[in-house]
Amino acid sequence: MGGERRSPPRSPLHLGPWQVNMQYDHKRIEQEWRDRWKAEKTYHVENDPSKPKYYVLDMFPYPSGAGLHVGHPLGYIASDIVARYKRHSGFNVLHPMGYDSFGLPAEQYAIQTGQHPAKTTEINLARYREQLDRIGFSFDWDREVRTSDPNYYKWTQWIFLQLFDSWYDTAQDKARPIAELIARFEERGCKGQDASVLTGDIEEFVGEFDAAEWKAFDERTKQLVLQYFRLAYLSDAWVNWCPALGTVLANDEVKDGVSERGGHPVERKKMRQWSMRITAYAQRLLNGLDDLDWSTSLKESQRNWIGRSEGALVRFALTPNPSPKERGGMPSDPQADSEGKRNSATERPAYLTADFKSASELQQFARDNRKEPTEAEDRLWQVIRGSATGGRIRRQHAIDKYIVDFVSLPKQLVIEVDGDIHEHQEDEDSGRTHMLQELGFEVIRFTNQEVMADAIAVRESIIVALSKRPDFNTTRHSPLSSGEGQGVREIEVFTTRPDTLFGVSFLTLAPEHELVSILTTDERRAEVEAYVKTASNRSERDRQAEVDKVSGVFTGSYAKHPFTGADVPIWVGDYVLAGYGTGAVMAVPGGDQRDWRFAKHFGLPIIAVTEGADIEKEADERKDATICSEGFLKGLKVPEAITRAIQELEKLNAGEGRINFRLRDAAFGRQRYWGEPIPVYYKDDIPYAVKEEHLPLILPEVDKFLPTEDGEPPLARATDWHYSPLVGRGAGGEGHYPLETTTMPGWAGSSWYFLRYMDPKNEGRFASPEAIKYWGQVDLYMGGSEHATGHLLYFRFWTKFLHDRGWLPFDEPAKKLVNQGMIQGVSQSVGVAYVSLDHMVTKENRGMRIPLREGGYFEFMNSHKFLRYNEEGVPIAQTVLMEADAKLLRDFEGMNRLYAQEINVPVQVVVDGTLNVVDYMKSLEGQKHEDAVFVSEAGVWHEGKFTPFAGAEPLGVRTKPVVEKMSKSKLNVVNPDEIISKYGADTLRLYEMFLGPLEQSKPWDTNGIEGTFRFLRKFWNLFRISGDPNAPSSTDAPVASTHRVDLKVDLDETEPTKPEFKALHATLKKVTEDIEHMSFNTSVSQFMIAVNELGSLKCHKRHVLEPLTIALAPFAPHIAEELWHLLGHKTSVTLAPWPKFDEKHLVEDNFSYPISFNGKTRMVLELPASLTKEEVEAIVLANPEVQQRLEGNSPKKVIVVPKRIVNIVV
């Protein structure tokens, strides 16, 4: 194998056996140095506190099976240059690499092939590593981490447990151990502020209780209450369910209604689900952005994703008439869990993200409406609440005109507890039961005595009854209303413009809003239900596509305006999103264009709210307008009016200032196999943490990677998926409890990996405090902008959390972040048409004609020569490929029964814009267009034969280049391995950097690479290297042996001349500055300039070439290392100190002054650089050419900027 690497350079100069001029042989050099670096652990990094540290990190790659294309290493090369540069500059540099090796693609592949994902992942990693190794990165592979390694995910699980064991204390504004919350409950219970649950997607909230009540709760109830506070929590939440992938996805994993990976449709589904309370950190995630050195676009993306908006929550009281109380419903219990549909992350005051009633309001409510729940009801509630029955039971829920005791909505099962009242009202009860059955509900009844005697037995009966019911899971269609245990009193809306309150002419509810059915009057019910049904049947995509269509319907009900007391009609409209704010808006057609369009469409009143608005034409959304509404806001500017309106609302207890976030809590459980097991077991259906000493909880073996027949996640297939706190994981039995069967999402492992690199082998902690203190934050984080709202948000969230709990001294992971741009591919496209049979053989018997570029036609005659036949010998449609020339295509499209389009052909079979037909045909063997007819300007190809038009030479089909994303499916992928074997890794590295600014997207053009390759060869030749090409190469010797001795340099040891020094130091200066500014394309240019200059100066001096070699080392490490050793050094160039540039070599005696007249440069005068302004002016004006240009006029003004320019104003 060494022999092959030693193969002679492409054009050896046959000067004789000895002292041959040795040409740059990248294959030999690169292989040799890669081996030696590995053997000598050149890039090994110690945690060495005596040296300043620098942490350069690349975003965690997920190695798919597809392998790298030339776009992938771009960021790695840039970060490697910085890492190497910092090392030369005296820093101890941490520049690690590892793999995000859990994930969906490997699992999908496993399902398809039956192979264990660990195995296919291993293969992918090996291939990825091999490709990385070829590029010459300075990674310390001893620090490699893999998220799927139990030694790694042990700590991912540990962090999960920390989150499970924490709650967010809004007073201290940080996460605290849950024990502190328990202590607080024991001391003062849960009241007011404390009772506020903080979350986006959670739909329940904790009632108030005092210390005594807390202590009286049984263990189960306590645990259920704590669920509402934990940062990792289990709840019934609306999730993005992807049926094709069989799992839940986080919001950032869904794009345009389909999964980001694979593009499968995603639907909204309500599921019991692990979530992460990232919403608690919304404000801090926002604030933290200000101090980060990240690109503005990335910070903007995060700001938009978090979506903070300030405004007010306004309560519109409902007019009495249609309220359920008056319609015969029973009064309700405000202390029971109030659902109040919180999809929003509405907060108050700072970080509270759930909606909740203010204490005063609750009390008032309680006074008005309190219904003492019977003891039996309460008893039963304690045992069936939450998820005790396997699904959620709601209490005191309004159905049609009744309020039932308990109901399971998905199962449409009503549970009634009959006390004395019912016994006296049997007639009425049977009517009620009948009515509920009409509505599709089953009703089961228990007596007070039954419940009091054995509530658990009653629960079991309920569970049995539930299990017999089909799963309706159609909450939004059910004729249900306001939520658990609460009569409808008001509608809450969120608005950013409370100053426009006087312009409210109607309210609009989202079709999914829970008040819709209860507010709908009987005469409007049919219409409203039809509308809601249509709206809900439309997919997210349809809805998005039809944003300009106005639709809606009136419910028949009215609300009261908080200021004027006027009746405000309540409408339903699908322009209101259920998921944002409260799912209801106050419509101000005069101030909001969406409301305006709705009002215009339905003829609703449009009230002017601002001065100077032309409300007939459009709404006035200006934020600097003056309010014109009569009343206390009149004459105020918008910002002042907002403040004033909020004050007035608060006075009336009709609303208050609010901050609303768009950010939702993140779904954390995946119904998949290939991920970290969530270290939780269930006792009595309550999740408990697996003990730390039992971590890692190893991913179990399963027979198949598919869900079970009951739809349980794959982990449920494992036979040993039980846990005992005493002995750990086991097969079950006494004292063993079932373990959680969902696994963590891909982002779990990547949210903290930067910490593990600091101390990757630590068995006692995720990383030692010393290592964390030393390495600290990432100094440079390099990666793609596609992670803006996913990884980078979770990454920051976990860091802040670990900081809160005292594990980290900093609360942001990466100070500086750079997004490398994409390298785009250049696709080559041709036209394709499918010519139908009847067109070919009929058409007035003329056969098929193809119009040609220069006019005229090529005719497929009636010979059927080009027809394709199927097995029965019947001719079928023929594929025709032709030049992707617009005219040609157009002509095809215009012809009957033809279908024409453009397709890409592999870039490998295109040379200089011409498709090599023969190669292409070969690549298509057995595929779609295998027997296509190719029509080019010169003739027609068919079955490998060329039929020329008169006099034409055989020619391929001309292709059209299109710049687009580089991807396998677009057939435009350029593989780095091919580039490396032809030009070497150093050339690849230089060229990728040379292509353009790092952060910009730019197309890859392999043709341009020759320039950088030539540069390296020229640089090599400056060293005048000679040797014996037949001498044994050190590549045949053990890798650790000393460097080969058969090459030598012929350098000039004398002191460099001034121009030589200048060429060197100008380069050192520019390159140093450019690396600091990450402007690598210009540093490569500068190296080229230097080499060109030194070449024309015929400079072969050690004192010039040696520093230049060090400066080149970060960019082209292999050649630099080789030359460094040829210069006589015994240690790696990596250890050489960075050469300092000296300004004195750049000082010129003379300066060529551009002389401009009125700013336009007309001539250049070389003058001594030491001259003062006045001297320059005098000399310039005395110059005859200047005089000639002045034509005797004296200049109005002369501007002299020393060593820069002279400008003469005439």
Partner RNA sequence: ACGGACGUGGCGGAAUGGUAGACGCGCUGGUCUUAGGAACCAGUACUGCAAGGUGUGGGGGUUCGAGUCCCCCCGUCCGUACCA
Cβ–Cβ < 8 Å for 47, 775: yes
Q: Tell whether omega for the bond before 105 is within 30 degrees of 0, i.e. cis.
A: no
Buried b (16+ CB within 10 A) or exposed e, 882-898: bbbbeebbebbeebeeb
Cβ–Cβ < 8 Å for 415, 406: yes
Q: Kindly report the number of other CB atoms within 10 A of residue 183's CB atom.
A: 11
Residue of 547, 1037, 1135, 1147 interacting with RNA (CB under 7 A) = 547
Cβ–Cβ < 8 Å for 934, 881: yes
3-state secondary structure of 1123: helix
User: Is 1065 a binder of RNA (CB under 7 A)?
Assistant: no
Q: How far is the CB of 621 from RNA (least distance, A)?
A: 9
Give the tokens for residue 1197. Answer: 């003004």
What type of residue is 146?
R
User: Is 191 a binder of RNA (CB under 7 A)?
Assistant: no
Residue of 296, 863, 927, 1188 interacting with RNA (CB under 7 A) = 296
Dist CA 45 CA 439 (whole Å): 70
Residues 224-263 within binding reach of RNA (CB under 7 A): 255
User: Is 1079 a binder of RNA (CB under 7 A)?
Assistant: yes
Task: State which H helix or E strand residue 965 sits in.
Answer: strand 960-965
Pattern of binders to RNA over 765-804, x per CB under 7 A?
--------------------x--xx---------------
Q: How far is the CB of 429 from RNA (least distance, A)?
A: 40
Q: Kindly report the number of other CB atoms within 10 A of residue 239's CB atom.
A: 23
Q: How far is the CB of 14 from RNA (least distance, A)?
A: 11
| Identity of the residue, 1041 or 1152, whose beta carbon is nearer to RNA in the bound complex | 1152
User: Is 11 a binder of RNA (CB under 7 A)?
Assistant: yes
User: Is 78 a binder of RNA (CB under 7 A)?
Assistant: no
Q: How far is the CB of 1157 from RNA (least distance, A)?
A: 9
Give the tokens for residue 790. Answer: 């996913």
What number of helices (H) and strands (E) belong to the chain? 38, 51
Pattern of binders to RNA over 1111-1150, x per CB under 7 A?
----------------------------------------
Q: How far is the CB of 790 from RNA (least distance, A)?
A: 9
Q: How far is the CB of 1056 from RNA (least distance, A)?
A: 20
Dist CA 1196 CA 1158 (whole Å): 10
User: Is 1089 a binder of RNA (CB under 7 A)?
Assistant: yes
Residues 1146-1175 within binding reach of RNA (CB under 7 A): 1152, 1154, 1156, 1158-1162, 1164
Residue of 434, 634, 890, 1204 interacting with RNA (CB under 7 A) = 1204
| Identity of the residue, 450 or 621, whose beta carbon is nearer to RNA in the bound complex | 621
Residue of 113, 437, 1092, 1187 interacting with RNA (CB under 7 A) = 1092
Residues 478-507 within binding reach of RNA (CB under 7 A): 494-497
| Binding-residue total with RNA (CB under 7 A) | 81
Residues 932-991 within binding reach of RNA (CB under 7 A): none
Stretch that binds RNA, among 210-218, 275-283, 717-725, 1013-1021 (CB under 7 A): 1013-1021
User: Is 594 a binder of RNA (CB under 7 A)?
Assistant: yes
Give the tokens for residue 589. Answer: 């057609």
User: Is 313 a binder of RNA (CB under 7 A)?
Assistant: no
Cβ–Cβ < 8 Å for 752, 788: no
Cβ–Cβ < 8 Å for 1071, 993: no
Q: Look at strands 442-447 and 413-418 and give their pairing.
A: parallel
Residue of 1010, 1036, 1050, 1142 interacting with RNA (CB under 7 A) = 1010
Query: Phi and psi for 416 in degrees, rounded to 5?
Result: -115, 140
Pattern of binders to RNA over 409-448, x per CB under 7 A?
----------------------------------------
Residue of 363, 430, 544, 1131 interacting with RNA (CB under 7 A) = 544
- What's 562-589 look like in SS3? CCCCCEEEEEEECCCCCCCCCCEEEECC
User: Is 1033 a binder of RNA (CB under 7 A)?
Assistant: no
| Identity of the residue, 761 or 1160, whose beta carbon is nearer to RNA in the bound complex | 1160
| Identity of the residue, 678 or 788, whose beta carbon is nearer to RNA in the bound complex | 788
| Identity of the residue, 226 or 576, whose beta carbon is nearer to RNA in the bound complex | 576
Torsion of CA 217, 220, 221, 222, to 10 degrees: 70
User: Is 510 a binder of RNA (CB under 7 A)?
Assistant: yes
What type of residue is 695?
L
Dist CA 1012 CA 217 (whole Å): 75
Residues 800-859 within binding reach of RNA (CB under 7 A): none
Q: What secondary structure does DSSP assign to 1032-1063, as a single string?
A: PPGGGS-TTSPPPSSEE---B-SPPPHHHHHH
Give the largest CA-CA distance in the chain: 122
| Identity of the residue, 539 or 1092, whose beta carbon is nearer to RNA in the bound complex | 1092
| Identity of the residue, 435 or 1199, whose beta carbon is nearer to RNA in the bound complex | 1199
Residues 358-377 within binding reach of RNA (CB under 7 A): none
Stretch that binds RNA, among 206-214, 392-400, 1121-1129, 1201-1209 (CB under 7 A): 1201-1209
Give the tokens for residue 1152. Answer: 């060529």
Give the tokens for residue 681. Answer: 């077991």
Residue of 64, 151, 309, 319 interacting with RNA (CB under 7 A) = 309
Residue of 739, 1088, 1094, 1186 interacting with RNA (CB under 7 A) = 1088
User: Is 997 a binder of RNA (CB under 7 A)?
Assistant: yes
User: Is 1007 a binder of RNA (CB under 7 A)?
Assistant: yes
3-state secondary structure of 905: strand
What type of residue is 1164?
V
Stretch that binds RNA, among 353-361, 553-561, 1052-1060, 1195-1203 (CB under 7 A): 1195-1203
Cβ–Cβ < 8 Å for 500, 594: no
Dist CA 876 CA 871 (whole Å): 10
| Identity of the residue, 1040 or 1164, whose beta carbon is nearer to RNA in the bound complex | 1164
Cβ–Cβ < 8 Å for 838, 874: no
User: Is 147 a binder of RNA (CB under 7 A)?
Assistant: no
Q: How far is the CB of 920 from RNA (least distance, A)?
A: 17
Dist CA 1012 CA 992 (whole Å): 10
| Identity of the residue, 348 or 497, whose beta carbon is nearer to RNA in the bound complex | 497
Q: How far is the CB of 297 from RNA (least distance, A)?
A: 3
User: Is 1011 a binder of RNA (CB under 7 A)?
Assistant: yes
Dist CA 72 CA 624 (whole Å): 47
β strands within 966-1105, DSSP E = 1002-1003, 1026-1027, 1047-1048
Stretch that binds RNA, among 13-21, 142-150, 837-845, 1199-1207 (CB under 7 A): 1199-1207
Residues 623-662 within binding reach of RNA (CB under 7 A): 660, 662
Stretch that binds RNA, among 428-436, 545-553, 867-875, 1120-1128 (CB under 7 A): 545-553
Give the tokens for residue 472. Answer: 């309706």
How many CA atoms lie less than 13 Å away from 948 in the CB half-sphere?
Answer: 7
Name the region of 338 (left: φ>0; alpha: ψ -120 to 50; beta: rest). beta
* Closest of 1061, 1009, 1050, 1002 to residue 1026, by C-alpha: 1050
| Identity of the residue, 406 or 1019, whose beta carbon is nearer to RNA in the bound complex | 1019
Residue of 574, 648, 992, 1121 interacting with RNA (CB under 7 A) = 574
Residue of 305, 351, 752, 795 interacting with RNA (CB under 7 A) = 305
User: Is 916 a binder of RNA (CB under 7 A)?
Assistant: no
Dist CA 294 CA 305 (whole Å): 16
User: Is 8 a binder of RNA (CB under 7 A)?
Assistant: no
Q: How far is the CB of 797 from RNA (least distance, A)?
A: 18
- What's 769-815 look like in SS3? HHHHHHHCCECEEEECHHHCCCHHHHHHHHHHHHHHCCCCCCCCCEC
